[in-house]
Chain A
């Protein structure tokens, strides 16, 4: 229930700032403006979703935050010192080493920091238990289902206990039932560990269910279009998923998203 307070505080703007993007722009070498004048504040303990149509630069924003790419203009300000070991990243695909066992895949970030197998074992096994993969440590990725692979990917991102977890449409390729299950489990993990999440998605329903804040982005050029606090209390579960409150919030988010899509002028309009 502590997390509930943190989430409320985050929503009401009381939690300390973790990261702010100020006037950030990114122009690729081929001349495409991926992001333009993005201002974004992420607070400690936030579950922030970046929601938008494809081409709105939400993945680019995530890569900038991760330090995988540098902004053309503007700046990123981290509170306190942050290095890459404070950042966990979950890709759209599970992105596992196909030749390595589940254990070795989760061990990888620690291994790259020089932690031996024996030393890493408690942390790895704990993380595997947290994502409900006990007993699968010796399996190789191809022996797992899509949802299980994604769980391994999350365990790998979380094994270093990062301060912020960046997720780039992690569940987009999964079937709905698996996605719901992973949504629930991710929230459970988030409430227990109290890390910060930046979650990229193009699903209105997913963003509303998970987040404490939804930031809607628009395309061409990629920019922040609007923001929607989701004040529904945590823990959220299947009861919340079927509640009128949830439906109302989804409608709100959907309206903002439609406006964002319509605001995109030009010949490339997707015609929604």
Chain B
């Protein structure tokens, strides 16, 4: 019995090649990045050994892993502090971004008047604004939250505004024809239509809120006021504790990746039935 006969479906060479290609791609999608990652870590380790680089300049990956384990208490409690700021600011960014977008959607005049302010907030580097916030705001958490929020809210605001404004003209007429109130139009038409745009903004804001939190901690931490992961990094830098520095860095990136994956999943689950972006490609 040949392999060909096993196959219930007889494929011509072109289709067989395509099927093989698809199978390979499915596996490769996971295997390739992992393999490259393993290779990179191995190379990192070899470079340390071959060049006899001291641990306080570039620690071997094994040492970093060990530190991640031995300093777990310290690092994870710091991570928790950072995560708290990240998620709180993301939540505030969602509330603020969507709230402002809904307000903008009520009237073109409001949007025209206030959107430039949002842009100003967005384009001014947070590091430059922080000293001001530091003067005006006393509470440490509020300080950090404000920073992270300023960084994270803009993509949500601009995407949701775009979404609320890109409702199909005929659908708008349909609602008008049926005597829909402003609230009904928002609730049943504009908000659902803006959902894909909002979720796109949310994915960006998720990463940005982590960046915002870490940057805020950095600036605050330089003044010895923070206990988040960023201050662990600064502290480790001062003490030439490179393994801990790397461990903290890895924790931050893993957190960022995790936030992105979770938000992608949420987005997929919400959109999978109807939106083009979440549909499987059909041949």
Q: Residues of A at under 8 Å CB distance from B? A: 66-68, 83-85, 87, 89, 91-93, 95, 97-100, 108-109, 111-113, 140-142, 160
Contacts and interface: CB of A to CB of B under 8 A. Distances in A.
Contact of B274 (A68, A93, A141): A141
B274 A91 contact: no
Given A113-B179, A141-B274, 17 more contacts: A68-B173, A68-B177, A83-B179, A84-B178, A84-B179, A87-B177, A89-B173, A91-B170, A91-B174, A97-B192, A98-B275, A99-B274, A100-B192, A108-B188, A112-B175, A112-B184, A140-B273
A115 B275 CA distance: 28
Contact of A108 (B168, B178, B273): B178
What 7 A-B pairs are tightest by C-beta distance, nearest first? A95-B170, A91-B170, A112-B178, A98-B274, A99-B274, A109-B178, A112-B180
11 contacts: A67-B177, A68-B173, A87-B177, A89-B174, A89-B177, A91-B170, A93-B170, A95-B174, A97-B189, A99-B193, A108-B174
Given A112-B178, A112-B188, A95 B274 contact: no
B103 interface: no
B171 interface: yes
B176 interface: yes
Nearest to A101: B273
A85 B274 contact: no
A95 B188 CA distance: 14
B278 to A, nearest CB: 11
Interface in B117-136: none
Contacts of B279: 142
A68 B178 contact: no
Q: Determine chain B's interface SS by DSSP, over half rule.
A: helix
Nearest to A142: B274
A123 to B, nearest CB: 15
Contacts, number: 57
Interface in B235-283: 273-275, 279
B173, B175, B178: which has the most chain A beta carbons within 10 Å?
B178
A258 to B, nearest CB: 31
A208 B267 CA distance: 49
Contacts of A108: 174, 178, 188
A160 to B, nearest CB: 8
B195 interface: yes
A91 B178 CA distance: 14
A99 B198 CA distance: 15
Contacts of A111: 188
A95 B168 contact: yes
B179 A99 contact: no
Contact of B192 (A83, A84, A99, A113): A99
Contact of A112 (B179, B192, B193, B275): B179
B176 A68 contact: yes
Nearest to B176: A68
Given A99-B192, A111-B188, A112-B184, A66 B273 contact: no
A182 B34 CA distance: 55
A254 B144 CA distance: 74
B112 to A, nearest CB: 20
Interface in B165-204: 168, 170-171, 173-180, 184, 188-189, 192-193, 195
A83 B193 CA distance: 28
A140 B188 contact: no
Contacts of B184: 112
A156 to B, nearest CB: 8
